[in-house]
């Protein structure tokens, strides 16, 4: 076992083929898949224990070998594994390796055995078992490796010609072995058309959405509080009565042949069903049309897999009506039993949500049943088309509603889903019936009218007006930003209506999931788009929401919250806390001051003071992973303090203004010293350049940092990201700053990937937040597996905003086009897009969305902003007051700073602060008091109240009476 170490290739993370005269042949060989069986035998020995590292190595090797040796030639049905890399034996005129049945069978066996080995060690081996099932299907009697007589051939050419020994006993024997193992694990692929019903372990769906729907009636007195998403033709995660409360995992359709063939298929064809929410009801309506291509008669069923109030394991399902005339409902029974689990998902009264859903058809269902996800009755229907005995009720189960819409060679009908609170099934059915009575065409027209009204107030920027694709992407991005806003808590926009890699996330608790939360940083991005297009009422409501529901009395704003303001993750992120002050400044510039909004100066003061007391270091930077001194976080802090100071001057609070201005100036002067390295490393030598973050403000220390998500351990100087561009975007630095330009060189050499017509960017090197890069490449990210972050489209937009001011080689319009190409067929912009050209078992394509979050509101906002920025020739969201202070006036330059010496003395419960300065005014702030005094003859003194215990005291001097133009100096005391 230890001898295998000599065959391990650390660079590619796999075992080589052999050692020849001490030299490792690095080629991957299917024969090495036999190691899995050997490892399992060793693991079964009482006297031997496999180390976790050995098992992890094996898992990585198996995954890479299966990926590398798997061949599926273009325009061919042939698929399977080659023997080894570079195998040309008996390949004739074929350029590539031939597929062998025995190696394909060996791959299936290795995958299932790997899954068992991981499961035996309390690991997650499901992905390997699924991989085994896919390889096993290639060995089927109808598969590409089998003769017409049903025998497996030894080899197959790419054109499908079978070659050499047929039959060959070896792969038949392995296939029998795999059959037994998969059957033992209840993991055999379905005998019919690769179809399965809802499973007994409820999970969410993929984060890759192709549509988001809700009526644009957010400002209506009684809006329709229903949302849903679409993915590959299925309706997913219907939401009610808030945008973060999901009550349905999927609504899709089952087609069953009425003859004895046993044919069934779960259809995901996007052009067969059209959906809309009805603005007049809390309901979704669907126009369903089915036409047989072969004149065979089929049954068409609607299938709703419920997940009331974000969980799906203890609901009640009922079939109502009479024989041949049914409708279906499900409800949360806790509204009647009073047995509530402690819920994090509560309404405005603090009560847990109890939702009811009804599914009805215009002509009623002539056959209907309620079922249990994963149950035998439904499994038989989905697997072989056997109609189960119907049930009229199920209790405390994961409820599935199934109703037959029609039968025949063609079927047309209208379907509705109605929703109600308080588990009121009658009310839910009333909403569904009301929508059906209005009819699909009426509901659809009214739905479309709400969006036409919304878009009618927005003119297209010139950058997209002459290009239909760019213009449609612009409209879709703006609509997406409106769609993700709640209708009860106005201004609350979730980051994305999705659960990233949701198929790997169990829906087993009444809580929030995925990105269905409010981050004030993301909400700032959305705000900036609405402010840019002149939708100021929406922008105002967004800031009102932050200050009312997210900010606490100390000015702290948590990492993210539920829609109702309850903290989900309480991490400290200084940009989260700083951006609201930037938002307040922008609104004030549009004439929306404290008298015009539901927040006041005290809200601004609280968060600005929090940043002043606790900055510039942050517990988490913008990617929510690392603590320390971050260029992007410090940029937001500086901008927030300057914007708050400007508002303070206008409100007559000059002591606050001087303290905040002085801190912002000091941090501007020191951000390089805290975060930019002048020594670099062997890998990165374009110095000075910005690091992603430093632990203690010493960029030359070379501290080792283990990156999040099972990332590598790197010298902080070796971690490159583009966050420093925030210094330019927010007006702190000029675009031609030397450190900025050097950092762009490092970015382009480290985390840039060219993507026609511009480029894509990783968040940073070593990012582990993305699909798996080893083992089963492309499989969903989970906390148990190492992943790899992919390209983020919003970063292309960030770079383009820099290019509006600088010149680093990318054209902003090309970047806008690249972002549009990153969007999917529903024109939704993803969080991440795939970054590799080679194929995986998950069919990811370069430059297309992954299973992460789609749409991402931040990305949509970035697209809208960039389109307007191209017209303006500069980023439209840069706070003018920040750019004027630093880029134009150079207020923070050291030679403009007055001298300052400070003394302090306690007098009972008060503090006397005195000193000398060459400035003309001095501001002093304690946690509970603040004042501003003139420096007569260069001296000053003031007495202030203090807290018990430790106090942070900030003393700032101004060189001029005009605080917005004065150079400053600041001293911070910890007393």
pLDDT at 784: 75
Mean of pLDDT over the chain: 91
- Of the candidate ranges 299-308, 500-509, 669-678, 921-930, the one whose mean pLDDT is the lowest: 500-509
Q: How many residues does the chain have?
A: 975
pLDDT band of residue 121 (cuts 50, 70, 90) is: confident
pLDDT band of residue 264 (cuts 50, 70, 90) is: low
Residue 819 has pLDDT above 60, yes or no: yes
- Of the candidate ranges 332-336, 815-819, 904-908, the one whose mean pLDDT is the lowest: 332-336
Give the list of residues 6+ apart from residue 757 with CB closer than 8 angstroms, or none: 811, 814, 817, 818
Pick from 220, 279, 285, 277: nearest CA to 487: 220
Residue 900 has pLDDT above 50, yes or no: yes
Any idea what the CATH number is for the domain that residue 446 is in?
Answer: 2.70.98.10
421 lies in the same domain as 433: yes
Any idea what the CATH number is for the domain that residue 807 is in?
Answer: 1.50.10.10
- Residue 558 in tokens: 């948590």
Torsions phi, psi for 398 (to 5 deg):
-80, 100
The mean per-residue pLDDT over the stretch 967-971 comes to 97
How many helices (H) and strands (E) are present in the chain, helices listed first? 23, 39
Structural domain boundaries, residue 8: 2-184
- Residue 877 in tokens: 């969201």
Q: In whole angstroms, give the CA distance from residue 230 to residue 827.
A: 12
pLDDT digits (tens, 9 = 90+) for 274-306: 999 999 999 999 999 988 877 788 899 999 999
Judged by DSSP in three states, 279 sits in coil
864 lies in the same domain as 931: no
Tokens 């259809």 sit on residue: 267
- Residue 445 in tokens: 């027209």
Degrees, nearest 5: CA angle 585-588-590: 120
* Percent of the chain clearing pLDDT 90 (strictly above): 69
β-strand partners of 365:
326
pLDDT band of residue 311 (cuts 50, 70, 90) is: confident
Last residue of a domain, one of 437, 456, 475: 456
Q: Confirm whether 816 is domain-assigned.
A: yes
Residue 191 has pLDDT above 70, yes or no: no
169 lies in the same domain as 221: no
Residue 212 has pLDDT above 70, yes or no: yes
Instruction: For residue 672, give the H/E element and its range.
Output: helix 654-675
pLDDT band of residue 92 (cuts 50, 70, 90) is: confident
pTM metric for this prediction: 0.80
Rounded to a whole number, what is the distance in angstroms from the first to the last CA of the chain?
62
Question: Distance of alpha carbon 438 from its chain centroid, rounded?
Answer: 37
pLDDT digits (tens, 9 = 90+) for 380-402: 788 778 888 899 999 888 899 99
Residue 192 has pLDDT above 80, yes or no: no
Last residue of a domain, one of 436, 456, 476: 456
pLDDT at 632: 98
Q: Where are the beta strands (DSSP E) in 731-772?
A: 752-755, 758-761
Region for 937 from its dihedrals, namely left if φ exceeds 0, alpha if ψ lies in -120 to 50, beta otherwise: left
Residue 193 has pLDDT above 50, yes or no: no
pLDDT band of residue 150 (cuts 50, 70, 90) is: confident
β-strand partners of 760:
753
The mean per-residue pLDDT over the stretch 88-113 comes to 89
pLDDT band of residue 140 (cuts 50, 70, 90) is: confident
Residue 267 has pLDDT above 80, yes or no: no
pLDDT digits (tens, 9 = 90+) for 582-639: 999 999 999 999 999 999 999 999 999 999 999 999 999 999 999 999 999 999 999 9
pLDDT digits (tens, 9 = 90+) for 51-61: 888 888 899 99
pLDDT band of residue 197 (cuts 50, 70, 90) is: low
27 lies in the same domain as 52: yes
pLDDT at 25: 87
Any idea what the CATH number is for the domain that residue 80 is in?
Answer: 1.50.10.20
pLDDT digits (tens, 9 = 90+) for 829-888: 999 999 998 777 788 999 999 999 999 999 999 999 999 999 999 999 999 999 999 999
Instruction: For residue 201, give the H/E element and its range.
Output: none
CB atoms within 10 A of CB 241: 21
Torsions phi, psi for 264 (to 5 deg):
-140, 155
Q: In whole angstroms, give the CA distance from residue 537 to residue 542.
A: 9
Give the list of residues 6+ apart from residue 928 with CB closer than 8 angstroms, or none: 945, 946, 947
pLDDT band of residue 266 (cuts 50, 70, 90) is: low
- Of the candidate ranges 12-16, 247-251, 673-677, the one whose mean pLDDT is the lowest: 12-16
945 lies in the same domain as 879: no
- For the chain, the domain total comes to 4
pLDDT at 577: 98
Contact between 728 and 805 under an 8 Å Cβ cutoff? The reply is yes
Q: In whole angstroms, give the CA distance from residue 185 to residue 112.
A: 9
β-strand partners of 904:
913
417 lies in the same domain as 325: yes
Pick from 196, 184, 130, 194: nearest CA to 373: 196
448 lies in the same domain as 318: yes
Contact between 283 and 419 under an 8 Å Cβ cutoff? The reply is yes
Q: Confirm whether 171 is domain-assigned.
A: yes
pLDDT at 270: 43
Torsions phi, psi for 360 (to 5 deg):
-140, 155
DSSP 840-857: -TT---TTSB-SS-BS-H
pLDDT digits (tens, 9 = 90+) for 518-552: 999 999 999 999 999 999 999 999 999 999 999 99
Pick from 123, 234, 263, 133: nearest CA to 189: 133
The bridge status of strand 567-569 relative to strand 676-677 is unpaired
The mean per-residue pLDDT over the stretch 24-32 comes to 90
CB atoms within 10 A of CB 479: 18
Pick from 960, 891, 893, 890: nearest CA to 922: 960
Residue 337 has pLDDT above 60, yes or no: no
- Residue 542 in tokens: 């967004």
Last residue of a domain, one of 456, 473, 499: 456
β-strand partners of 628:
618
Pick from 793, 202, 250, 832: nearest CA to 500: 832
Tokens 């080893």 sit on residue: 774
Residue 170 has pLDDT above 50, yes or no: yes
CB atoms within 10 A of CB 448: 14
According to DSSP, residue 309 is labeled G
According to DSSP, residue 549 is labeled I
Q: Using CB atoms within 10 Å of the CB of residue 536, give its burial: 0 to 12 exposed, 13 to 18 middle, 19+ buried.
A: middle
Q: Confirm whether 762 is domain-assigned.
A: yes
Q: In whole angstroms, give the CA distance from residue 872 to residue 895.
A: 34
175 lies in the same domain as 223: no
Give the list of residues 6+ apart from residue 756 with CB closer than 8 angstroms, or none: 818, 821
263 lies in the same domain as 332: yes
The bridge status of strand 283-291 relative to strand 410-420 is antiparallel
Residue 405 has pLDDT above 80, yes or no: yes
Q: Confirm whether 49 is domain-assigned.
A: yes
Q: Confirm whether 202 is domain-assigned.
A: no
Q: Using CB atoms within 10 Å of the CB of residue 191, give its burial: 0 to 12 exposed, 13 to 18 middle, 19+ buried.
A: exposed
pLDDT band of residue 46 (cuts 50, 70, 90) is: confident
Torsions phi, psi for 430 (to 5 deg):
-65, -40
pLDDT at 957: 98
Degrees, nearest 5: CA angle 395-398-399: 70
Question: CA–CA distance from 788 to each of 559, 690, 779, 858 (Å)?
Answer: 23, 23, 11, 21
Contact between 103 and 83 under an 8 Å Cβ cutoff? The reply is yes
The mean per-residue pLDDT over the stretch 21-29 comes to 88
The bridge status of strand 356-361 relative to strand 713-715 is unpaired
860 lies in the same domain as 923: no
Q: In whole angstroms, give the CA distance from residue 531 to residue 586.
A: 8
pLDDT at 725: 98
Q: Give CA torsion, residues 217, 227, 563, 232, to 10 deg.
A: -140
Q: Confirm whether 557 is domain-assigned.
A: no
Higher pLDDT, 503 or 599: 599
330 lies in the same domain as 413: yes
Q: Confirm whether 366 is domain-assigned.
A: yes
177 lies in the same domain as 62: yes
**Cis, bond preceding 688 (omega within 30 deg of 0):** yes
Give the list of residues 6+ apart from residue 387 with CB closer than 8 angstroms, or none: 367, 381
pLDDT band of residue 268 (cuts 50, 70, 90) is: very low
Q: Confirm whether 98 is domain-assigned.
A: yes
pLDDT digits (tens, 9 = 90+) for 339-396: 555 566 787 788 888 899 999 999 999 999 998 887 877 887 887 788 888 999 998 8
pLDDT at 583: 99
């Amino acid at each position: 076992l230890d001898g295998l170490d000599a065959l391990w290739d650390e660079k590619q993370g796999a075992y080589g083929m052999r050692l020849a005269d001490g030299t490792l042949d690095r080629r991957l060989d299917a024969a090495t898949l036999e190691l899995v069986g050997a490892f399992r035998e060793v693991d079964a020995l009482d006297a031997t224990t496999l180390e976790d590292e050995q098992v992890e190595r094996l898992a990585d090797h198996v995954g890479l070998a299966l990926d590398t040796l798997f061949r599926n030639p273009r325009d061919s049905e042939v698929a399977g594994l080659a023997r080894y890399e570079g195998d040309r034996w008996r390949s004739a005129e074929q350029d590539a390796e031939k597929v062998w049945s025995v190696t394909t069978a060996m791959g299936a066996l290795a995958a299932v055995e790997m899954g068992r080995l991981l499961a035996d060690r309390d690991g997650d081996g499901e992905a390997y078992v699924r991989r085994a099932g896919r390889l096993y299907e290639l060995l089927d009697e109808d598969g590409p490796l089998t003769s017409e007589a049903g025998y497996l051939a030894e080899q197959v050419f790419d054109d499908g010609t079978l070659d050499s020994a047929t039959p060959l006993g070896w792969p038949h024997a392995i296939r029998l072995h795999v059959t037994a193992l998969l059957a033992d694990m209840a993991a055999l692929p379905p005998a019919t058309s690769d179809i399965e019903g809802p499973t007994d372990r409820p999970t969410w769906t993929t984060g890759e959405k192709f549509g988001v729907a809700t009526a644009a009636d957010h400002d209506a007195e009684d809006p329709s509080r229903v949302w849903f998403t679409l993915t590959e033709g299925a309706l997913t995660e219907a939401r009610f009565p808030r945008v973060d409360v999901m009550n349905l995992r999927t609504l899709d359709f089952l087609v069953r042949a009425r003859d004895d063939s046993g044919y069934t298929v779960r259809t995901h064809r996007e052009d067969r069903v059209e959906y809309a929410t009805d603005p007049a009801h809390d309901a979704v309506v669907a126009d369903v049309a089915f036409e047989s291509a072969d004149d065979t008669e089929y049954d068409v069923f609607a299938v709703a897999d419920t997940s009331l109030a974000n969980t799906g394991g203890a609901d009640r399902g009922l079939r109502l009506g009479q024989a041949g005339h049914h409708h279906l409902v499900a409800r949360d029974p806790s509204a009647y039993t009073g047995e509530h689990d402690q819920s994090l998902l509560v309404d405005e009264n603090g009560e847990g949500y109890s939702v009811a859903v009804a599914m009805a058809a215009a002509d009623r269902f002539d056959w209907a049943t309620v079922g249990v996800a994963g149950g035998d009755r439904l499994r038989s229907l989905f697997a072989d088309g056997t109609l189960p005995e119907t049930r009229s009720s199920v209790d405390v189960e994961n409820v599935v509603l199934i109703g037959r819409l029609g039968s025949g060679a063609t079927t047309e009908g209208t379907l509705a889903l109605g929703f109600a609170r308080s588990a009121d099934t009658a009310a839910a059915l009333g909403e569904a019936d009301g929508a059906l009575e209005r009819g699909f065409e009426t509901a659809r027209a009214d739905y479309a009218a709400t969006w036409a009204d919304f878009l009618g107030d927005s003119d297209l920027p010139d950058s997209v007006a002459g290009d239909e694709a760019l213009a449609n992407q612009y409209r879709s991005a703006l609509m997406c930003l409106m769609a993700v806003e709640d209708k009860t808590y106005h201004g609350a926009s979730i980051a994305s209506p999705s659960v990233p890699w949701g198929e790997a996330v169990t829906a087993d608790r009444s809580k929030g999931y995925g990105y269905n939360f409010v981050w004030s940083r993301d909400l700032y991005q959305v705000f900036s788009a609405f402010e840019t297009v002149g939708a100021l009422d929406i922008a105002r409501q967004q800031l009102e929401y932050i200050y009312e529901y997210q900010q606490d009395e100390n000015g702290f704003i948590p990492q993210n919250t539920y829609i109702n303001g309850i903290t989900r993750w309480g991490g400290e992120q200084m940009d989260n806390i700083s951006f609201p002050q930037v938002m307040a400044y922008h609104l004030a510039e549009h004439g929306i001051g404290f008298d015009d909004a539901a927040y006041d100066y005290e809200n601004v003061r609280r968060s600005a003071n929090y940043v002043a007391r606790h900055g510039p270091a942050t517990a988490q930077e913008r990617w929510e992973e690392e603590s320390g001194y971050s260029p992007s976080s410090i940029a937001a802090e500086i901008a927030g303090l300057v914007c708050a100071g400007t508002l303070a001057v206008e409100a007559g609070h000059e002591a606050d203004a001087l303290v905040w201005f002085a801190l912002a100036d000091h941090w501007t002067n020191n951000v390089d010293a805290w975060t930019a390295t002048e020594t670099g490393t062997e890998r990165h030598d374009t110095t000075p350049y910005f690091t992603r973050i430093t632990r203690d403000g010493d960029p030359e220390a070379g501290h080792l940092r283990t990156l999040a998500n099972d990332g590598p351990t790197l010298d902080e100087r070796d971690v490159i990201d583009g966050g420093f561009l925030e210094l330019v975007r927010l007006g702190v630095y000029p675009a031609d700053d030397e450190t900025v330009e050097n950092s762009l060189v490092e970015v382009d050499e480290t985390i840039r990937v060219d993507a026609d017509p511009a480029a894509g960017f990783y968040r940073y090197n070593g990012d582990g937040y993305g699909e798996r890069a080893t083992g089963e490449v492309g499989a969903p990210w989970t906390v148990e597996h190492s992943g790899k972050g992919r390209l983020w489209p919003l970063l292309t937009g960030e770079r383009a905003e820099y290019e509006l001011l600088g010149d680093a080689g990318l054209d902003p319009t090309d970047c806008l086009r690249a972002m549009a190409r990153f969007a999917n067929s529903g024109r939704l912009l993803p969080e991440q897009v795939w970054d590799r050209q080679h194929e995986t078992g998950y069919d990811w394509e370069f430059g297309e969305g992954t299973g992460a979050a789609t749409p991402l509101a931040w990305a949509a906002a970035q697209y809208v902003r960039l389109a307007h920025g191209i017209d303006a020739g500069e980023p439209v969201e840069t706070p003018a007051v920040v750019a004027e202070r630093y880029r134009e006036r150079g207020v923070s330059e050291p030679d403009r700073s007055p001298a300052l010496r400070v003394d302090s003395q306690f007098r009972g419960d008060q503090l006397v602060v005195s000193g000398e300065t060459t400035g003309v005014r001095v501001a002093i702030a304690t946690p509970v008091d603040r004042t501003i005094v003139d420096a007569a003859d260069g001296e000053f003194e003031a007495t202030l109240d203090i807290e018990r215990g430790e106090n942070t005291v900030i003393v700032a001097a101004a060189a001029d009476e005009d605080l917005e133009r004065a150079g400053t100096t600041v001293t911070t005391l910890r007393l």
